Structure 1
Amino acid sequence: MAKYEEIAEDIRNGILNGKFNTNEQLPLEKEMCEQYGVSRITIKKAVDELVTQGLVIKRRGAGTFVKALDDTDVQKLSMAKQFEGFTESHNDKKVTSKIIKFEVVHPTEEIATKLKITVDDFAYYLIRARYSNDEPFVIEYTYMPIVLIPGIKNDILMSSVYGYIENTLKLKIKSAHRIIRAILPDELEQKELKIDSNFPILEVEQVGFLDNGQPFEYSIAHHRSDKIEFRTVSIK
């Protein structure tokens, strides 16, 4: 992680932990340079990163201020940045999983391209139904390259794959590219999500990236539309 990213993360944590309140001004660039022992260019990049995330706003001639977002919005922004998985985003509830399929495959050319591997390489392919407080929320269809994410077993799939990646493999999950669509469920999804054929679901197609830019996951998640919402903040 670059120095400016470390500084941005520290300030972001301060915002989320209440060190900086809504509409409060951040320390001046000079003060932050002294605090972190870096140049103004590094501080500027850190602040620009926070602006991009929608956590702060620059006011010409006045300084940089924490945006007027409610606690839920700030939490959503933090989650989007940290790219948390289902277990982490439901950490105040009982999370369980059902493994529907778990196998090792050669990826198709399309999937291999998304994961930056070849069709001769091996990848995990897994289908999981995820539950929060025993209620079905989502079915995940996921590919991961074995060379990058080794050692996945059933016990990991029953808990948190992202937790295993970051805590055991010591890899840093950084970002995701997502496409969201509304579709109708197939027979498997009707059964596992306990819905009928006319119940709309949200399809989230996603490529996940580590902090070195390497894709570690290609997934399609089918969410019950009454159990999820997506929030965004647009910054000009």
Structure 2
Amino acid sequence: MNNQKKIAKYKMIENDILGKINSGFYSKEQLIPTEQELAKEYDVSRVTVRQATNNLVAKGYLIRNQGSGTFVAEPSHINRTTNIKSFTDEMSGLNKKVSSDILTFKIVPATEFVSNKLNINGGSSVYYIERLRKADDEPMMLEMTYMSVADYPDLSYEKLQQSRYNYIEQTRKVSLDYSHQVVVPIMPSEEIIHHFQCDPEQPILKVLNSTYLANGEIADYSVLILNSSKYQYQSIKLK
């Protein structure tokens, strides 16, 4: 396996369109842009675009109607509501040494999407955090998280080296209750391939995770990319 293999342009376009389908940017039965529009957007030929969309049609993500265009089919995803167990606790329970590489830690204004997810006012200050989570120095998960600055004013680089869930409970003095997760398959981007050293042709899992406190408030919103060859997704269904 050549982990340094470059992703073909059509595959990058295919992955991007699939990501937009799974995230809800393109909704069910929505007409996607024409080949000409997509070719202009991605700065490629229509042949390259057609190869990408043909693959998504073959996989059941898109439906092509002669004379009408190409539409989004039923998105392939799994919704789960799960009990909460932190990555730190999970790996420690397996007697693995947990560590985190903090790739990004900054304060940004909340977009409309993020403010809706966190139930805060648009433009409010939020932390944007990227962490590469490791077990015994093996990369297991890339975690991208948004948290309200007003709710967690003392969050620091040092605290992010440890369990974020423990920090949340200690700061808010409220127990975590559950996580709502949407699990979708994706093809790895070049960034993911770099971090995981994974097969560029092998699908991996992306988890869209919203964590809730026992008082009903939302604690954070995260996007989790799992190194599926080393870290299997598991959940415990609530009664």
TM normalised by structure 2 equals 0.61
Select 1:199's aligned residue among 190, 198, 202.
202
CA distance in 2 between partners of 1:209 and 1:231 (Å): 16
Contact residue 147 and residue 220 of structure 2 kept, 8 A: yes
Whether 1:211 and 2:214 are equivalent positions in the alignment is: yes
Structure scoring higher RCO (CA < 8 A, sep ≥ 6) equals 2
After TM superposition, give the deviation of residue 117 of structure 1 in Å: 0.3
CA distance in 1 between partners of 2:122 and 2:237 (Å): 38
Pairwise CA RMSD of aligned residues?
Answer: 1.7
Unaligned runs of 5+ residues in structure 2 are 1-81
SS of the aligned residue for 1:197 comes to: coil
User: Which string of whole-angstrom CA distances, capped at 9 and with x for unpartnered residues, describes residues 44-85 of structure 1?
Assistant: xxxxxxxxxxxxxxxxxxxxxxxxxxxxxxxxxxxx42x121
Q: 1:138 to 1:176 in 2, by over 3 A?
A: same
TM normalised by structure 1 equals 0.62
After TM superposition, give the deviation of residue 196 of structure 1 in Å: 3.1
CA distance in 2 between partners of 1:175 and 1:234 (Å): 9
Percent identity for Structure 1 against Structure 2 = 32
Select 1:143's aligned residue among 143, 146, 161.
146
After TM superposition, give the deviation of residue 88 of structure 1 in Å: 1.2
Whether 1:122 and 2:141 are equivalent positions in the alignment is: no
Contact residue 107 and residue 123 of structure 1 kept, 8 A: yes
After TM superposition, give the deviation of residue 168 of structure 1 in Å: 4.5
Give 1:65-214 correspondences, 5 Å limit: 80-81=82-83, 83-91=84-92, 92-214=95-217
After TM superposition, give the deviation of residue 232 of structure 1 in Å: 5.2
- Letter paired with 1:126: I
After TM superposition, give the deviation of residue 128 of structure 1 in Å: 0.6
Match of 1:225 in 2: 228
CA distance in 2 between partners of 1:233 and 1:165 (Å): 23
CA distance in 1 between partners of 2:99 and 2:116 (Å): 31
After TM superposition, give the deviation of residue 169 of structure 1 in Å: 4.0
Unaligned runs of 5+ residues in structure 1 are 1-79
Q: Which runs of 4+ in 1 moved over 4 A?
A: 231-235
- Letter paired with 1:229: Y
SS of the aligned residue for 2:177 comes to: strand
CA distance in 1 between partners of 2:99 and 2:181 (Å): 24
Give 1:15-26 correspondences, 5 Å limit: none
